[in-house]
Each structure stands twice: as C-alpha cells, then as structure tokens.
Chain A
Amino acid sequence: MVDSIGPNQSNKHRSNYAVISGEEEGAAKEQERLLPIANVGRIMKQILPPNAKISKEAKETMQECVSEFISFVTGEASDKCHREKRKTVNGDDICWALGSLGFDDYSDSLKRYLIRYRETEGERLANQNKAAAAETETASSPLHFSFDLMDKRRI
C-alpha cells in the first residue's frame, strides 16, 4: 500500500484513513480459505462419544486439513478436465479424483449421493421448465400477452 499522505506522517495516522487495517484484512482473508470452525467442530463432535472434548487447536488444525483436502482433490479433478479438454469441473470429476487419490470409500457413497442429487435437481428443473414453457410457448406470445395488458389499461 502506498502512503500518499506525506513523508512526515506516521503509520498510526495513516491507519485512521484506512477502511480496515492490514491486520484485519489479513484475518478476513485467512477465514476465507477455511471452512467455518463452528461447522467443522460440529461434525467432529457428532462422530465422537458424548463426553469427548475437542481443543480449539484441534478444530483449527482440522479446518486447515479440510481446506488442504479440497485443494488436493480439486487439483486432481482439474488436471483430468485439462487432459480431456473440458473447462468445467463437475461432480463426476470430484468422485473420480477421490477414487484416484485413495479415498475409494468416499467415492462410492458420493456417487450414490450425486445420483440422488441429480434426480431431485432434474425433477425440480423439469418442473421449472414446464412452468416457463407454458408462459412463453412461441416467440410471439410474450408480445401478445403484453398487448392484452395494454389494451386493458386503456379501457
């Protein structure tokens, strides 16, 4: 960051003009590359016995590990897309990458998860498309529709 105030001004004076300090900006960026500690902590807690305790540091370490996991798997999936000259990383690529990197158990249960998701998404989108198609059957009907409205307004 360039100090445009003047050579004799102190850094303390400069921070009064900044929207956020360098420290706060660093902390915000840090949080962006991690999944929220509350969510991570909750998943950890759910798998452990009720009397288990988890230190804050352990949760923080887990946060870091998960982000690394996402990067690692995404990189593998992305390489595959690149080799196959595709631009978009999709769910199948993630499943494949997981299998390729040794996470076979995840890969199988996720494939089933993805199939279920696509079925329900497909239904949802099909219903949306049906509704949209009913309104705009041909190119001329939107115009037709708005003409009707205008006529009504004139009356």
Chain B
Amino acid sequence: MRQPGAYSNLLSGGKTGPHSLPLARIKKIMKKSGEDVKMISGEAPIVFSKACELFIEELTKRAWAMTLQRKTRTMHKEDVAAAVMETDIFDFLVGLVSHTPNPSAPLES
C-alpha cells in the first residue's frame, strides 16, 4: 500500500517544509465540496495541508482535555464530539459528530 507521508515529503522537495498530508487527496476533497469549485491553484492544497494540521492539533488538544476529565489516558470519539460541542468555531461539525451515538459510552457534558 502506498505510503502517503513519504510521497508528500517527496512532492514538497523539502523547500517549504515536508507536508504531512497528501496534496492530491486534499485537492480531491476540495473538488468534491461543490459544483462551483472547478479550478484550484497549486498553492491552495499546500496552504490546506498546513491548515488541516493546525485544525487537527487544535481539535485534538481540546478532545484530550475531555479525555482527562474522564480520568483516563485513551481518547475516544466521544471526547472529540464533546470538544466540538463546546467550541463555537467547530459548530459546522455538530451534525457530523452527533450522527452515530455510541450507546456504550455516555457523553461527558
């Protein structure tokens, strides 16, 4: 199976710093976001690869705060969901995380 991490490092050539996310995949996801999205400049996926990193870092940190409230060291999806619920800028994710509730692990509020 292809190793996306290695591939995106090759792509970047180390000049702008290694990209930890595959640019081609980012571009695909961008294109799927709407009918209007037809042309994407080369730099847009590169900006996104950094933006996604920042996003993942922020959501992970906030989710971890939820994990610690449960006095455990394993992050579960409920922690991610709880972090989304309590952060205004993550409102766009509310529908996504409340989609499939897990009956065995109650949400911490």
A→B interface (CB under 8 Å):
32-36, 38-40, 42-44, 47-48, 51-55, 57-58, 60-62, 64-75, 77-79, 81-82, 87-91, 93-95, 98, 101-103, 105-106, 109-110, 113-114, 116-118, 120-121, 124
B60 near A38: Cβ-Cβ < 8 Å: no
Across-interface contacts of B34 in A (CB, < 8 A): 71, 74-75, 78
Could you say which interface size class chain B belongs to?
A: 35 or more
Q: Which residue of A lies closest to B43 (CB)?
A: A91
**Residues of B with Cβ closer than 8 Å to A?**
3-5, 15-16, 20-22, 25-26, 28-30, 32-34, 36-41, 43-44, 46-48, 50-57, 59-61, 63-64, 67, 73-77, 79-81, 84, 88-90, 92-93, 96-97, 102
Q: Are A55 and B75 in contact (CB under 8 A)?
A: yes
Contact call B22/A52, Cβ cutoff below 8 A:
no
Residue of B nearest to A107 (CB): B51
Residues from chain A with a CB closer than 8 A to the CB of B55 are 65-66, 69, 103, 106
Q: Across the interface, do B56 and A44 meet the contact criterion of CB distance under 8 Å?
A: yes
CA distance in complex: A64, B92 (Å): 12
User: Is the Cβ of B40 less than 8 Å from the Cβ of A62?
Assistant: no
Assuming the A-B contacts A43-B56, A90-B44, are A68 and B93 also in contact, with contact meaning beta carbons closer than 8 angstroms in the complex?
yes
15 other contacts beyond A38-B4, A91-B47, with CB at 8 A cut-off?
A35-B25, A47-B56, A47-B61, A48-B60, A52-B67, A54-B74, A55-B74, A58-B63, A58-B77, A70-B52, A71-B30, A71-B32, A74-B29, A78-B33, A89-B41
Max chain A Cβ within 10 angstroms of own Cβ: one of B5, B36, B60: B60
Shortest beta-carbon distance from A53 to chain B in Å: 4
Contact A90–B29 (Cβ < 8 Å):
no
The 10 closest A-B pairs by CB, nearest first: A71-B33, A91-B43, A102-B89, A90-B41, A53-B74, A61-B77, A88-B39, A74-B33, A57-B77, A91-B47
